[in-house]
Structure 1
Amino acid sequence: MKMLLVLVLFAVGLNSGSAAKLGVVQTEGGRVEGKSHRMGLMRSVDVFKGIPFADVPGKWEKPKPHPGWSGVLKATTYRERCLQVTLLQTKTQGSEDCLYLNIFVPQGRKLSTNLPVMVYLFGGAFLLGASNDVAILGDSLYDGKEMADRGGVIIVTVNYRVGTLGFLSTGDTRMPGNYGLWDQHFAISWVRRNIHSFGGNPDNITIFGQSAGAASVSYQMVSPYSSGLFRRAITQCGVSLSPWALQKNPMALTKKIARKVGCSRTNEDDMLACLKISDPVGLTMAGKIDSHLRGRLFCPGVVMDLLELSPVVDGDFIPDHPSKLFQNTAQFDYMAGVNSMDGHIFAGVDVPSINRLKANTTTEDVRGLLAGLTKEKGTAAISSAYGVYSAHWGSAPDPSVVKKTVADMETDFLFLVPTQIALQLHANNTSGARTYSYLFNMKTRIPGFPSWVGAEHAEDLQYLFGKPFATPLVYFPRHRDLSGYMIAYWTNFARTGDPNTGDSRVPAPWPAFTKYHRPYLTINHKISKSSVSYDLRSTYVDYWTTTYSTLPSVKTQDLD
């Protein structure tokens, strides 16, 4: 009897000590109700899935406010992704009714108030992806519960239009493009207006993203429309200066899409009128990566050329080349970095021999890749770049050294160098805001890759979103260490603008990147004071930013 009484009292105590819940929340469009997920003793996360931040968008139109709803919206299931091709590009998935966001709010014994807010923009080459992409053992890769709970921040993940419907452009006012960027802007603006009702601080919003999502964050930073909208930004493996992140000849691509859907016309306005009434599914399929190019496996440097749909200089949201707009970033604290092998997956497509144990990668392969990457500068660039990248080989280089060099070339060109330029431009322009640089180099967990492969593109995300805690059976303690470190640095930065200072302890101090000093933190499971180094790959950064950039450009044929 006594034991039963103890158990009852314990149960009552547990119940009365459970975490607070938001319940029904009033937003500008109407009331919403999410679901509370228990995370530990007196800790939970309120999750709201599928809240509309805009109305169903018109084709190639800016987003418009949602008309609202009556009653209580049950925000308990993710909404469809924006219409896009599938990963194998054989069909489409998603809907035009897709402008929804998801909110993860950590709770303790009392309702949370004034929390920092982190808005995540997904990657996917501006072609595919969603706010709830890639389920890992049940939960989306971008599920924000662990990060919210462990970092004491509100996480918001948002959908935006991708592919043809998100980024097709004529390069002028008829179809200016950047619809996906406008969607992101609209979502961030909605968060600023409404997050107070969820316990967030509208004056402390950080936007962060990976790959095309990181380039999107970078575009939001440089846009004049973002002044005062958020406070900090984090780009992971991509910036607006990445060579794949800007359409150079939008009208030529629009004409190519028009041909594919039967809208080819001599008169451009007739062509556009035809496109406007074309089936969205057909238009989306027309924007897929060209299979006849993919079948060539691969003309060197072609991977980059295949990523055609991306933002444009539209004279409005992006009024000039992004490199000329960094004065607009001076107000934001900025953290940026890359993964040590960001380019490996792309290099393996361009030069397949690098991943074959018994195949050698020849000097012709290396020169061929450089020819593809540097074609806008002509043959002079091939020799000069080859000289820089082969300088450490010696007379009889180990085959694995040559293969790793190929991956390094593509990492530098597509990700690392543009990120270093963006960091420098931010540090040069800032007045009071801080800048931080990192290199993520946790060894790959992908089986079958050669031993020299470091951190693959997108491998940082599983740690940042706390998967080693959410699904502990498929990770080791070292992975949980790394996950804890990343969540601490990222959420401290969101809270204070300094990754070292906040509610979470960090393993080592991370010095700021400045106009004249360029420290960076190497991020893996063994972070210590010796993880701080200076001038990341400066030989190669200097080559691309000075020697290469001063070489004369050659005339190239238009797409059309």
Structure 2
Amino acid sequence: MTMIMDLKDKIVMDIFRGIPYAQPPIGEFRFQKPVPLNSWKGIREASEYGNVCMQDRIYTKEVWGDEDCLYLNIWIPNGVEGKLAVMIWFHGGAFALGASQGIDIMNSTLYDGYEIAHHGNVIVVTINYRLASLGFLSTGDENGRGNYGLWDQHMAIKWVKKNIANFGGNPGLITLFGESAGGASTSMHALSPVNKGLFRRVISESGDAQTMWAVNRRPLGAARRVAQAVGCPLEDKAAMMFCLRRVPAKDIVLAVRVTESLSNKEILFFLPFVPTIDGEFLPHEPVKLFENSKEIDYLLGCNSGDAHLFVSIWFPGVNIPFGISEHTVLICTAGSLGQAAVESVIFEYTDWKNPTEFSRRFGLVRMYTDMQIIITQPFFSTRHSSSTYAYLFAYPSRMPNLILPEWIGAIHAGELQFLFGKPFSNPKIYNQQERELSRAMINYWTNFIPNAHHFFQLAGIPGLLTFNFKLNFKEVTQRTAFHKDGVGEGVRSQAKSGMSKRSGHRRD
């Protein structure tokens, strides 16, 4: 355990790192649901993060991490009366990359829960879960159902529910939050029947269960690619899984490198190892599971430039003769639109008066962000039974050693530095306006937990706060705004807003 003290030697935060929440998923436990952990004897050291789950490194044919990786971390503020609300964080990374502590950023880890716990008076928990082939390889039947990473998350939630009272937490006031693949994960937990009664609220950032890349409906092909690469049987699926449990984990991870998929525009929006319809955790398509989430309050949203990272990888030159091409639209929608819709999309996202490379790239960013992330949000708000809210984060991205054009807005994951309070832990790098933004985000997220109906009125926030930021980073204004539209220009027209409420069902 680590204790953080103030200048008067008063303990302000207890931190427990590297707590195991399940048995190591190795040997016969590989490609299985996690197995509950037996209690240990004596005192366990909890000052260092646990192993990162095994994954391949971007741009190199190497792996890092370990199969023994099912660990979680807890931040507990001191001096707060009563049992504290609990927030469990699921990291993003295309279900293939990442860790509970996140990347190193400005002399700290990105997902350090200290600032959220300190400013929000909540307990923060971050977890590891199995990734890529080790976490999501599936034969599509009882031999290898997949979703092991989701079951890891489920086990961690159950562990927190059972044990968090011993850390000063309220087991009846648990909220899940996550970004990108982590956001899709929180959404799937809300829809899954196995989670009934484990948590009350969910926050999904830049990803949900309806996002196009979040579910693999034909997982056997990817499993066979791995099996073929390591010399395991291809047709007998029971024999395939028996063999794969005996192959070195490193060979399995490198057999099909997900990081290569992320840079291959020919398989846009298809990731080989993501959640699948397994008949248990996800018994049906997500669209058919909303009955399971009717008691759960939901906050979801995205960033104004979420797509820029992907567009810059997949379309580096944007060599389109004039406007957005039909081929590009079909790639970006995985062929899911009819011809009339394709023509409409081309018209909507092409700047006919100014067909420059800049306008084409800007159109692609808007199109991908709208189609892959924003478009799913009204779906949730119209089908979800409890209170549903949405936000749009639009503060222009700024990171050390990363200079981006101002028109891009907030890139994918750009909000995380503010949510995790980096302007407070690194005050010399950020300005006062950015600390105000960070404080507001933490207030929104943490006040959503005790009262989803009125969270925007709590903690001294005047009404439903939105931020207007001029692109020169110099001016911050606050105003109240309620928006009903959720797709395309409905949200896009509020591109300077940091937060908006969207219409949805609400229980009074």
Normalization by structure 2: what TM-score?
0.89
**Pick from 304, 309, 319: which aligns with 2:269?**
304
CA contact (8 A) 1:439 1:523 kept: no
Match of 1:188 in 2: 157
Match of 1:475 in 2: 430
Alpha-carbon deviation of 1:541? 9.2
Match of 1:19 in 2: none
Q: Given the superposition, is the C-alpha separation of residues 294 and 442 from structure 1 closer, same or farther in structure 2, using an over 3 Å criterion?
A: closer
CA contact (8 A) 1:371 1:379 kept: no
1:302-349 alpha-carbon deviations (Å, 9 max, x no partner): 3323x2210001110111001110111111111110000111111111
Please give the alpha-carbon distance, in whole angstroms, between the structure 2 residues aligned to 1:221 and 1:523. 32
CA contact (8 A) 1:340 1:456 kept: yes
Please give the alpha-carbon distance, in whole angstroms, between the structure 1 residues aligned to 2:31 and 2:272. 17
Matches within 5 A, 1:520-559: 526=476, 528-538=478-488
CA contact (8 A) 1:50 1:78 kept: yes
Please give the alpha-carbon distance, in whole angstroms, between the structure 1 residues aligned to 2:70 and 2:23. 7
Q: Given the superposition, is the C-alpha separation of residues 408 and 216 from structure 1 closer, same or farther in structure 2, using an over 3 Å criterion?
A: same
Task: Give the gaps of 5 or more residues in structure 1.
Answer: 1-33, 355-359, 511-520, 543-560
The AA in structure 1 aligned to 2:247 is: S
Alpha-carbon deviation of 1:540? 8.0
Q: Given the superposition, is the C-alpha separation of residues 195 and 116 from structure 1 closer, same or farther in structure 2, using an over 3 Å criterion?
A: same
**Pick from 447, 453, 457: which aligns with 2:412?**
457
Alpha-carbon deviation of 1:465? 0.5
Alpha-carbon deviation of 1:286? 1.6
Describe the SS at the equivalent of 1:436.
strand
The AA in structure 2 aligned to 1:44 is: V
The AA in structure 2 aligned to 1:69 is: W
Q: Given the superposition, is the C-alpha separation of residues 229 and 86 from structure 1 closer, same or farther in structure 2, using an over 3 Å criterion?
A: same
1:214-249 alpha-carbon deviations (Å, 9 max, x no partner): 000001000001111001110000001000000021
Matches within 5 A, 1:157-176: 157-176=126-145
Matches within 5 A, 1:105-184: 105-108=76-79, 112-184=81-153
Q: Given the superposition, is the C-alpha separation of residues 425 and 139 from structure 1 closer, same or farther in structure 2, using an over 3 Å criterion?
A: same
**Pick from 430, 434, 438: which aligns with 2:391?**
438
Match of 1:277 in 2: 246
Please give the alpha-carbon distance, in whole angstroms, between the structure 1 residues aligned to 2:432 and 2:423. 8
**Pick from 325, 329, 332: which aligns with 2:296?**
332
Describe the SS at the equivalent of 1:118.
strand
Is 1:499 aligned to residue 467 of structure 2?
Answer: no
Is 1:246 aligned to residue 197 of structure 2?
Answer: no
CA contact (8 A) 1:50 1:101 kept: yes
Alpha-carbon deviation of 1:402? 2.5
CA contact (8 A) 1:147 1:153 kept: yes
Q: Given the superposition, is the C-alpha separation of residues 365 and 243 from structure 1 closer, same or farther in structure 2, using an over 3 Å criterion?
A: same
1:37-92 alpha-carbon deviations (Å, 9 max, x no partner): 12566561100001111111210111111122111112101011111112334211
Please give the alpha-carbon distance, in whole angstroms, between the structure 1 residues aligned to 2:181 and 2:155. 18
Match of 2:170 in 1: 201
Is 1:406 aligned to residue 368 of structure 2?
Answer: no
Match of 2:47 in 1: 76
Alpha-carbon deviation of 1:365? 5.9
**Pick from 44, 48, 60: which aligns with 2:31?**
60
**Pick from 34, 37, 62: which aligns with 1:91?**
62
Please give the alpha-carbon distance, in whole angstroms, between the structure 2 residues aligned to 1:436 and 1:343. 22
Describe the SS at the equivalent of 1:462.
helix
Describe the SS at the equivalent of 1:174.
coil
The AA in structure 1 aligned to 2:345 is: A
Please give the alpha-carbon distance, in whole angstroms, between the structure 2 residues aligned to 1:376 and 1:182. 31
Alpha-carbon deviation of 1:403? 1.8
1:375-403 alpha-carbon deviations (Å, 9 max, x no partner): 4347725333212323xx24444543322
Please give the alpha-carbon distance, in whole angstroms, between the structure 2 residues aligned to 1:210 and 1:339. 11
CA contact (8 A) 1:83 1:162 kept: yes
CA contact (8 A) 2:225 2:256 kept: no
1:501-537 alpha-carbon deviations (Å, 9 max, x no partner): 44x2224426xxxxxxxxxx56868352245433134
Q: Given the superposition, is the C-alpha separation of residues 266 and 105 from structure 1 closer, same or farther in structure 2, using an over 3 Å criterion?
A: closer
**Pick from 331, 334, 349: which aligns with 1:389?**
349
1:231-276 alpha-carbon deviations (Å, 9 max, x no partner): 1110000001000000021111111111121224343333333222
Describe the SS at the equivalent of 1:528.
strand
Match of 2:331 in 1: 372
Q: Given the superposition, is the C-alpha separation of residues 344 and 531 from structure 1 closer, same or farther in structure 2, using an over 3 Å criterion?
A: farther
Alpha-carbon deviation of 1:374? 3.2
Q: Given the superposition, is the C-alpha separation of residues 196 and 387 from structure 1 closer, same or farther in structure 2, using an over 3 Å criterion?
A: same
Is 1:313 aligned to residue 268 of structure 2?
Answer: no
Is 1:289 aligned to residue 289 of structure 2?
Answer: no
Alpha-carbon deviation of 1:368? 2.9
Please give the alpha-carbon distance, in whole angstroms, between the structure 2 residues aligned to 1:155 and 1:294. 30
Describe the SS at the equivalent of 1:244.
helix
Q: Given the superposition, is the C-alpha separation of residues 332 and 212 from structure 1 closer, same or farther in structure 2, using an over 3 Å criterion?
A: same
Q: Given the superposition, is the C-alpha separation of residues 540 and 530 from structure 1 closer, same or farther in structure 2, using an over 3 Å criterion?
A: closer
Please give the alpha-carbon distance, in whole angstroms, between the structure 1 residues aligned to 2:451 and 2:33. 33
Match of 1:421 in 2: 379
Alpha-carbon deviation of 1:294? 7.2
Please give the alpha-carbon distance, in whole angstroms, between the structure 2 residues aligned to 1:290 and 1:443. 27
Match of 2:497 in 1: none
CA contact (8 A) 2:139 2:145 kept: yes
Please give the alpha-carbon distance, in whole angstroms, between the structure 2 residues aligned to 1:294 and 1:441. 24
Which range moves more in the overlay, 236-245 or 526-535? Answer: 526-535
Match of 1:557 in 2: none
Describe the SS at the equivalent of 1:304.
coil
1:12-31 alpha-carbon deviations (Å, 9 max, x no partner): xxxxxxxxxxxxxxxxxxxx
Please give the alpha-carbon distance, in whole angstroms, between the structure 2 residues aligned to 1:221 and 1:255. 31
Query: Which protein has the larger Cα radius of gyration, Structure 1 or Structure 2?
Result: 1
Describe the SS at the equivalent of 2:317.
helix
1:467-502 alpha-carbon deviations (Å, 9 max, x no partner): 000011111111111001001111111222232244
The AA in structure 1 aligned to 2:46 is: A
Alpha-carbon deviation of 1:369? 1.8
CA contact (8 A) 1:212 1:238 kept: yes
Task: Give the gaps of 5 or more residues in structure 2.
Answer: 470-474, 493-508
CA contact (8 A) 2:467 2:476 kept: no
CA contact (8 A) 2:177 2:186 kept: yes
Alpha-carbon deviation of 1:366? 3.8
Describe the SS at the equivalent of 2:197.
coil
**Pick from 52, 55, 71: which aligns with 1:100?**
71
